[in-house]
Amino acid sequence: MRLRLVGHDYKYAVEQIMLSVFPDEKPQYAEAPFLGSGELFTESRLRFGSVYAQATTVLHCNCKIFRGNARVSNRKLNGKLVTDRLLQKIIKQSFYRAASQYVEGPPPWGSLTGIRPSHIAATAIMSGKSAESAKKLLIREYYVSPERAHICTQTAQASLALKDSLLPKDIALYIGIPFCPTRCSYCSFVSNSVEKSFDMIASFVDVLLDEIAIAAKTTQELGLSISSVYVGGGTPTTLSEDSLEAILSKLHSSFDLSNIREFTFEAGRPDTITPMKLEIIRRYGADRICVNPQSMSDKVLSAIGRKHSAEDFIKAVQLVKKSGAKLNIDIIAGLPADTIESFKNTVEAIVSFFPENVTVHTLSLKKGSRIMLDGTQIPSGKDVEAMLSYSSARLSNSGFYPYYLYRQKYTSGGFENIGWCIPGHEGIYNISMMEELCTVLALGGGGVTKLVSAQGRIERIFNAKYPREYILFTDKLSEKYAKILNFYS
């Protein structure tokens, strides 16, 4: 899509809403006004009057013109941050109003962009509005569908409940293990298949053990308290029993974990779970284990490059259940070779295992994934919508409620990822990380430390992404933890 900005330079805002409404388009900027070509051409204009700032979007296509307007009172434009936020809001609204006259069906999230839509509902509730009023706000001002506005408000309430329970010095601890047995066709995470990186594991573990020691010393010096631990990846259970023992033993002996409320361990690939690995994980305190089949269809599992079957997943679940740990299961809507019917079968199977948590993801179409590189055929946006509607209704009717939600770019149909739980089993780390309720101290490959001050100031520190880079990261560990000490000083 060719874009022309007049009177402003809020490119990111325009691109966000463009991708939300037209996910298959790419932005191309034009200096000249529309000259009558057959391609999509959109002009986003911002002008300031004596009373209002007004955004106007004009979309041209096939000799037709679609126009949308939105405005905000100049009196509300106080300070750069507030001004930028409000001007971008009306720019997105005007774009949505123009585009909604052209597209066949309105996008599920309306003019709302960004990763954390629940933040808007939470802010409204904190200002004194009721949950119902917050939901109506999402529908009225951002054109969010009623179904998603309701879910968004529920996750906002879960976020606020956790926020009220956290103490000022509480933090979350994340440990990233970026290894998997194989790479799935949809994968966009920073992970290396063991087939290609086995020789790096020992050195990676050595550096991680060093970082655990430095991180523990830093948290002790600052008087920080670990409220939740999350070991993720990748697939941490790809590691050998000896490596898992070394990491968890070091973690247990280095940190004061007496105040943790949740210890989650990702054992995402059922083919990596053994009774001995599970015994080690449980012995060191993990009480919530993620086993993620993504689908219960062997045809779909084969299409995405998984080396396990649905039966393997059932056996892994039985092991987790026998261990006494809480169970989280992840599935994905929109995978290659999946259909509405086979996805429904997946949901039915998942519910039958009585997990405490279920996360329903929407397939994210990342450029580096094999799906995108090979042009693999995937379910349509309408089919994905039907899949998600079914899972939401089925989980709700089975006693689950949505406790956290986030969005990603380039998801099939522009949909979202939702974490569901049985009340009382909310994932503390998931909410804390997504809603930025407290500092997340991230160790290991690809870890992103997110420092959150009492005043809401946020600073990020990035670990090296890939295992080979992380092995060389040891020289920068002292620099990283000096920044953390400085942040809290």
Summarised one tens digit per residue, pLDDT across range 316-361 is: 999 999 999 999 999 999 999 999 999 999 999 999 999 999 999 9
Task: Kindly report, residue by residue over 254-304, the tens digit of the pLDDT.
Answer: 999 999 999 999 998 899 999 999 999 999 999 999 999 999 999 999 998
Contacts of 247 (CB under 8 A, 6+ apart): 175, 177, 205, 208, 209, 212, 231, 239
Amino acid 186: pLDDT: 65
Cα separation, 177 vs 246, whole angstroms: 13
CB 335 within 8 A of CB 304: yes
The model carries a pTM of 0.90
Question: What phi and psi values does residue 190 have, to the nearest 5 degrees?
Answer: -80, 95
Q: What are phi and psi of 440, to 5 degrees?
A: -115, 115
Q: Give the Cα separation of 448 and 73 in Å (integer).
A: 38
Q: What pLDDT shows up at residue 21?
A: 86
pLDDT at residue 194, rounded to an integer? 53
What is the CATH code of the structural domain delimited by 1-106?
3.30.160
How far is 405 from 159, CA to CA, in rounded Å?
10
- pLDDT number for residue 398: 98
More confident residue, 186 or 469: 469
Over the Cα atoms of the chain, what is R_g?
24
Residue 186 phi/psi, 5° resolution? Answer: -95, -5
- Cis ω on the peptide bond leading into residue 36 (within 30° of 0)? no
Tell me the Ramachandran region of residue 314: left when phi exceeds 0, alpha when psi lies from -120 to 50, beta otherwise.
alpha
Q: From 347, 273, 278, select the one nearest 316 (Cα to Cα).
A: 273
CB 468 within 8 A of CB 211: no
271-276 contact pairs (CB < 8 A, 24+): 271/181, 271/307, 271/308, 271/312, 272/181, 272/235, 272/237, 272/238, 273/237, 273/316, 273/319, 273/320, 274/241, 275/319, 276/241
Ordered by start, the domain boundaries in the chain are: 1-106, 107-156, 166-483
Structure tokens at 193: 């298949």
Bridge partners (DSSP) listed for residue 360: 331, 418
CB 360 within 8 A of CB 333: yes
pLDDT at 23 over 80: no
What fold does the segment set 166-483 form as a domain? pyruvate-formate lyase- activating enzyme (3.80.30)
Q: What is the largest CA-CA distance in the chain?
A: 72
Question: Long-range contacts for 77-82 (Cβ within 8 Å, ≥24 apart)?
Answer: 77/53
Cα 155 from Cα 244, distance rounded (Å): 33
Residue 185 pLDDT:
67
In contact, 444 and 211? CB cutoff 8 Å: yes
Name the token pair of 5: 């900005």
**Position 155 pLDDT exceeds 80:** yes
Please give the backbone phi and psi of residue 312, each rounded to the nearest 5 degrees, phi first: -60, -40
Question: What is the pLDDT averaged over residues 200-225?
Answer: 96
**Band of the pLDDT at 381, cuts 50, 70, 90?**
confident
**Residue with the two structure tokens 């259940």:** 321
**Whole-angstrom Cα distance, residue 103 to residue 94?**
15
Overall size of the chain counted in residues: 489
Paired tokens of 308:
């396990």
Q: Give the pLDDT mean for 30-50.
A: 85
Compute the distance between CA of residue 25 and CA of residue 21 in angstroms, rounded to an integer: 9
| Angstrom distance (rounded) from CA 399 to CA 403 | 13
Q: Which of 6-15, 194-203, 470-479 has the lowest mean pLDDT?
A: 194-203
Q: Would you say 387 and 333 are in contact if contact means Cβ atoms under 8 Å apart?
A: yes
Strand 288-290 to strand 458-462: parallel, antiparallel, or no bridges (unpaired)? unpaired
* Predicted local distance difference test score (pLDDT) of residue 36: 65
Output the CA torsion 271→373→116→140 (10° steps): -130
Q: Is the pLDDT of residue 411 over 90?
A: no
Residue of 228 and 63 predicted with greater confidence: 228
> How far, CA to CA in Å, does 124 sit from each of 131, 137, 266, 347, 433?
8, 8, 34, 33, 20
Contact 32, 6 (CB under 8 A): no
User: How confident is the model over 80-101, as pLDDT tens digits?
Assistant: 999 999 999 999 999 999 999 9
For 450-454, what is the mean pLDDT?
A: 94
